[in-house]
Amino acid sequence: MVQRVLVTGGAGFLGSHLCDRLVERGHDVICLDNFFTSQKSNIEHLLGRRNFELVRHDVTEPIVLEVDQIYNLACPAAPGHYQYNPIKTTKTSVMGAINMLGLAKRVKARILHASTSEIYGDPEVHPQAESYRGNVNPIGPRACYDEGKRCAETLMFDYLRQNDVDVRVVRIFNTYGPRMHPYDGRVVSNFVRQAIAGDPITLFGDGSQTRSFCYVDDLVDGFIRFMDLPRGFHGPMNLGNPGEFTIRELAELAVRLSGSGSEIRIEKPLPEDDPTRRRPDISIAMEKLGWEPKVPLEEGLIKTIEFFRSIDLASYRPPTPNY
C-alpha cells in the first residue's frame, strides 16, 4: 500500500539512497533536511518526481506534517562533523527525536530511528549483540554523539511504553558507498579520495583497530524490511556487515582497488575514545527480517571508487574543517 513517508536527513548519504528506494516503490516521500552535512546533488534527480517533496527544516524545531511512516536519520554521523558543534549534535539527536516522536504520536505514524553501534562505545564484548549495554565515556569528545543517540533510544522506548508509539530502533554499523560526502573525514571517504589522488593514506594509530563495513544498498534493504514488519518487535536491532577488517587492511584494499601508488603512513595517534574493535552480531536481524548483507567489501569499494572518480570534488563544500 502507498504510504506517506517522511525521511529526516533525507538528503544525506543513507537518506538519499533510502529516498530513492521509497520513491521507486511508489510511496509519497517527504525528504526533510537542513543540509548541514549534505548537498542537493544527492537528491537532485528526484526533484521532478511527482511522489517526492523536499523540505528544508531543522529537526530541533517542531514541524506539522501528515505522514504514515517516519525514518529519523537527521544527525551528523562522521566524527569530524559531529564534533564540530557538539552541543548542536546532542540537540539534534535529542530534540530531533522528541519532535519526531511527538509527530508520530499525533498522527499515529510508525517511526524507525537510526541509532548507531557507537552506543556500545569502545566495546569490551565482541562481537556486539543488542543485549550488550556498552562502554561509553560520557564526557569525552565522542559523547555528544554517543550519549545523544543513547538518549534518543531511551526516548523511543519511553514513547512506546507511555504513548504506544510504534517505534523501531536500528543500530547501524559503519556503512559506506556512493554519495558519502568526500570531505566527511570518515575512513572510507578519506582513503578512497586519497588513493584516487595518489596522496598518502592517513592511518590514525597503527591501523590495527577494526571496523565492519556494510554496503549502503544492504543497509537500506534492512531499514525497509524492518519498517514493513508487522507490529510486534521494536528492536533495538543491529544492522551491519559482520565481515571485520583492520583499518590497515582497508587502506591496502583502497590502494589496490584504485590502482594507486599511494603510500600508507601513520598520520597521528589513535584519536581519544576511538573504539579499538567493532563487529555486529546480526542474529536478531537474520531471525526477524531474514536479512543479511550480500555485498562483499571489495565489490562495494569498487562501486565507491567509481563514484568518487565520477564526481567533481570542487563542487563539494566541506561541511566542517575536519577531514
In the list 14, 30, 103, 201, the residue contacting ligand NAD (rule: CB under 6 A) is 14
Q: Quick one: which H or E segment has residue 264?
A: strand 264-268
- Binding flag, residue 128, ligand NAD (CB under 6 A): no
- Binding flag, residue 217, ligand NAD (CB under 6 A): no
171 forms bridges with which residues in the sheet?
A: 115, 238
How far apart are the C-alpha atoms of 138 and 140, rounded to whole Å?
A: 6
Give the active site residue among 120, 145, 176, 215.
145
Q: In the bound complex, what is the minimum distance in angstroms from residue 198's beta carbon to ligand UDP?
A: 16
145 flagged as catalytic: yes
Say if residues 196 and 90 touch (Cβ distance below 8 Å): no
Q: Half-sphere exposure of residue 130, counting CA atoms within 13 Å on the CB side?
A: 17
DSSP H helices, the chain, are: 13-24, 79-82, 86-107, 143-163, 187-197, 216-228, 247-258, 283-289, 297-310
- Binding flag, residue 9, ligand NAD (CB under 6 A): yes
Q: How many residues bind ligand UDP (CB under 6 A)?
A: 15
Residue 27 or 186 with smaller CB distance to ligand UDP: 186
Q: In the bound complex, what is the minimum distance in angstroms from residue 14's beta carbon to ligand UDP?
A: 14
String of contacts with ligand NAD for each residue 51-90, x by CB under 6 A: -------xxx------------xxxxx-------------
Q: Which does 211 bind (CB under 5 to 8 A by kind): ligand NAD, ligand UDP, none?
A: ligand UDP
The three-class DSSP label of residue 158 is helix
Cα 237–Cα 215–Cα 204 angle in degrees, nearest 5: 95
Report which of 284, 301, 102, 129 is spatially closest to residue 213, judged by C-alpha positions. 301
Task: By CB under 6 A, name the binding residues for ligand NAD.
Answer: 8-9, 11-15, 33-38, 58-60, 73-77, 92, 114, 116, 172, 174-175, 181
Task: By CB under 6 A, name the binding residues for ligand UDP.
Answer: 78-79, 174, 186-187, 190, 202-204, 209, 211, 247, 270-271, 274
